């Protein structure tokens, strides 16, 4: 019920004109990121025109066996929560960036700079990305071990 209350509060606080504006801002932000990154990242649907509220990229041309996950973990070291990875399934190594309507151009430019830096490292085959994040409180999980031997109960 709390989710519905928050959504309704958000809608009522913006009103009809405000909701239209935040939707337009989210679309503008996503297209700004798409156009800023399409020269360095595989953007499979960029040629079909503007995107809606999310920019979609793939991991084509990454060197040294690097993957979308390595880029996402590298972004953590740059101070950013990583994008949605491996979804949608129609794009190999999908990276789905969904900027919110509240981000300023300056904040988006900072994100693009960090994102480009990490992608350039991936394209160059920087092996250090395979161990990222280095500066987060937690390092990478053993995903294979977690899938094969999940701990489904709390052990205090």
For 111-150, the pLDDT digits (tens) are: 999 999 999 999 999 999 999 999 999 888 888 888 899 8
Residue 48 lies in a domain: yes
Kind plus residue range of the DSSP H or E element containing 85: strand 84-85
Residue 149 lies in a domain: no
Range of the domain at 130: 2-137
For 29-42, the pLDDT digits (tens) are: 999 999 999 999 99
CATH code of 118's domain: 3.90.1150.10
pLDDT at 109 over 90: yes
**What is the maximal distance between C-alpha atoms in the chain?**
53
What is the residue-averaged pLDDT of the chain? 94
pLDDT at 144: 86
For 136-147, the pLDDT digits (tens) are: 998 888 888 888
Q: What does DSSP assign to residue 63?
A: S
């Amino acid at each position: 019920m709390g989710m519905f209350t928050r959504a309704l509060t958000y809608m009522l606080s913006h009103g009809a004109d405000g909701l239209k504006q935040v939707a337009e801002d989210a679309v503008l932000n996503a297209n700004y990121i798409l156009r800023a990154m399409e020269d360095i990242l595989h953007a499979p649907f960029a040629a079909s025109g503007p995107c809606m509220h999310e920019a979609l990229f793939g991991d084509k041309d990454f060197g040294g066996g690097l993957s979308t996950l390595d880029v996402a973990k590298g972004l953590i070291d740059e101070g950013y929560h990583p994008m949605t990875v491996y979804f949608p399934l129609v794009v190999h190594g999908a990276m789905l960036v969904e900027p919110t309507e509240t981000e300023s151009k300056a904040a988006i430019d900072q994100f693009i700079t960090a994102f480009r830096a990490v992608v350039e490292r991936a394209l160059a085959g920087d092996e250090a990305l395979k161990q990222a994040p280095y500066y987060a409180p937690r390092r990478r999980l053993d995903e294979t071990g977690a899938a094969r031997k999940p701990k489904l109960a709390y052990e205090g």
